[in-house]
Amino acid sequence: MSPDISKGKITHVGPVVEDGQLYDIVAIEPLDEDLNGAQPGAIGQPEFSLAREDYWLSDSVREGKFVQIESVTLLPTGELDEHSIYIETKVSVW
């Protein structure tokens, strides 16, 4: 199983309120291999967020920093569903 590699730029670190619930997150804008975002007017991948836990609590995780995430997703049922397990195997921030 080869890892998925995604790159992005951190756009928010800290609390947000969604649907009346308070969450502590890291929001990331997806970027391409050359660290370019979607061109104005183009439809790109939406921003995604991760819970601030484990590595994401590090002082090096700050708005404006670039990030590369290597991850694998385990599919116990053979399909992407509620039983799937997402594991970050390596995270780099610069």
Q: What is the pLDDT of residues 23-67, one digit of tens each?
A: 999 999 999 888 787 655 555 568 899 999 999 999 999 999 999
- Is the predicted pLDDT of residue 81 greater than 80, yes or no? yes
Gap between the Cα atoms of 62 and 42, Å rounded: 26
Per-residue pLDDT band for 5 (boundaries 50, 70, 90) equals: very high
- Is the predicted pLDDT of residue 93 greater than 90, yes or no? yes
CA gyration radius for the chain? Answer: 14
| Helix, strand, coil in percent for the chain, rounding step 5 | 5, 50, 45
